[in-house]
Structure 1
Amino acid sequence: MTTYAIGDLQGCHAEFVALLERLDFDARRDRLWLAGDLINRGPDSLACLREVHALGEAVSVVLGNHDLHLLAIARGGMSHKRSDTLQAILDAPDCDALLDWLQSQPLWIDDGLDDPDRLTVMTHAGLPPWWSVARARELAGEVESTLRGNRAGGFLEHMYGDAPRRWRDDLEGADRLRAIVNIFTRMRFIAADGTLDFAAKAGLDATPAGFAPWFTYPRDDDPRMLFGHWAALGGQTPGAVVRAEALDTGCVWGGSLTALDLTSGERIGEPCQTRHGPS
């Protein structure tokens, strides 16, 4: 059995299928970890969602900001953005079943080891230095429970926003849940006091003054951290002082879709077939 971790699909269905063929992936034998953002921007979000859903127990998925955006449109009353490619999902006869499945997915997955220094974890955007493994897992659970409960619609309605930009343990209600979601799904650059910058989305040569990539801050523990979200990194984490491994290699922007063999560390890429957005 081989476990592969793959970065953001973002509707790149043809490349996803081709990558699975390149891996000789067998759902009866192998396992997939997907770093979220299964959908949006690319040409076939519906096919991506159906393909992943059909893999059943062979796949583990974390929610990304685009996945949550779909849920907010469908079940939180939020509006489309001009760049969205989500209408085919909303019009599909199996839309409700796909959304039910997506809404049940977590913000956090790990390999279940008890020692946090040997643990492999995946979230969409990373793991901030101020949360231990145990605390991060607990906070992810707060959002997951809300999404699976009778307050999900209200949460999705109020999920958007940049405030608060700094985590505090005493946050409550919508502010607390929004802060957790933003850290797990939108984090890139942070300041030493824990403030997040949500505007900068480019590479490290465009680091805002007073900020640094989240993976350049030390931690008290040493988990292996897998994340997507940040295509401008090109799968690299220069300056990292923790074991952070970037998986989003920008397939939707003309890059490639990358799979990481979690045992050997080998990376296998499938080039983009058709570019769908600016670099």
Structure 2
Amino acid sequence: MADYAIGDVHACLDPLRRLLERLQFDPVRDRLWFTGDLVGRGPQAAETLRFIRDLGEAAESVLGNHDLHCLAVAAGHGRRRRNDRLEPLLEAPDAVDLLDWLRHRPLLTEPERGLALVHAGIPPQWDLATARQCAREAENQLRGEASDTLFANLYGNEPASWSAELSGWPKLRFIINAFTRMRFCRADGRLDFSDNGPPEEAPDGLYPWYETPGRRLQAEETTVISGHWSRLGCRQGPGYAALDTGCLWGGQLTAMRIDSTAPVFTQLDCPATLQPS
């Protein structure tokens, strides 16, 4: 039995299949935990969702920002972008079922004790209990009758600061932005979306979310596994492991074995399916 966390697939099913062959993945014995962005910009959106959904309890994925954008577009509230490549999924005969399955993915899951898996990260103001509570609140909205209204209020960078006094759509937008879009924060914990490069090239005053001063989630208690940040690449440090290695851009697809004493990484080189714009 083996548990693997896998970085952003972005509808690149063929590389995923090859990676699983290399891992000798057995859906009866093993389990997969995906960091989100199952769809968006890659060539096999419908096929990827069908494949992962049909693995049943052998696979789970959190929601990524591209997954949420896909759901918003399907609900009539997201603006289609040049490189989304969502039409084959939205026009598929089983689109309603596939999108409903996607909509019911969590924002945060905990594969093992001491591990939390999210798409982007956990903001520095939250401990694990707060992160769980916020994830469940937003998930309930995404899965409920008010999801259409949520998608209508999904987009935007504000509020950038967390407060226990937040409520309504501003609160939900902060929660979803933190879980699915965050890379950098300011020293006071404000989310900052102005840069997506590696931390070594960031402007002064920006901190990667996992190194922001005053971070409440203790690294010795919980390691956060995430994707989302392809220019960060495969990195691990105190309290975090990042797995988005740019499969879509001709980088790699990365799996991290998470049930062993020390993490074991397996990477597969991927052909470029989209050129950076």
Give distance in 2, aligned partners of 1:100 and 1:18: 27
- Give, in whole Å, the separation in 2 of the partners of 1:160 and 1:69: 9
In the alignment, which of 140, 143, 146 is matched to residue 151 of structure 1? 146
Q: Which runs of 5+ in 1 are unaligned?
A: 114-118
Displacement of 1:76: 4.4
1:55 corresponds to: 55
Q: 1:268 aligns with which of 256, 266, 269?
A: 266
Q: Which residue number corresponds to residue 275 of structure 2?
A: 277
Contact preservation (8 Å) 2:251, 2:272 = no
1:250 aligns with 2:252: no
Matches within 5 A, 1:5-24: 5-24=5-24
- The one-letter code of the counterpart of 1:96 is V
Partner of 1:42: 42
Q: CA deviation at 1:51?
A: 1.1
Superposed, 1:48-87 pairs within 5 Å as: 48-87=48-87
Query: What is the Cα deviation at residue 96 of structure 1?
Result: 0.2
**1:168-207 matched pairs, under 5 angstroms:** 168-207=163-202
Alpha-carbon distance between aligned partners in 2 of 1:154 and 1:43, rounded to the nearest angstrom = 29
- Establish whether residue 27 from structure 1 lines up as the match of residue 27 from structure 2: yes
C-alpha deviation, 1:220, in angstroms: 5.0
Residue in 2 that maps onto 1:128:
123
- C-alpha spacing 1:220/1:86, structure 2 compared with 1 (3 Å): closer
- In the aligned structure 1, how far is the partner of 2:147 from the partner of 2:211? 34
TM-score by length of 2: 0.94
Percent identity among equivalent residues?
44
SS at match of 2:63: coil
Match of 1:215 among 192, 210, 218: 210
TM-score (norm 1): 0.93
1:43–1:276 Cα contact (<8 Å) kept: no
**SS of residue in 2 equivalent to 1:253:** coil
The 8 Å contact of residues 35 and 119 in structure 2, kept in 1 or not, is answered as yes
Residue of structure 2 equivalent to 1:93: 93
Letter in 2 for 1:208: P
The SS at the match of 1:150 is coil
Aligned-partner residue type, residue 266 of structure 1: V
CA-atom RMSD, angstroms? Answer: 1.4
Distance, in Å, in 2 between the alignment partners of 1:225 and 1:165 is: 21
For residue 179 of structure 1, report the CA deviation from its aligned partner: 0.4
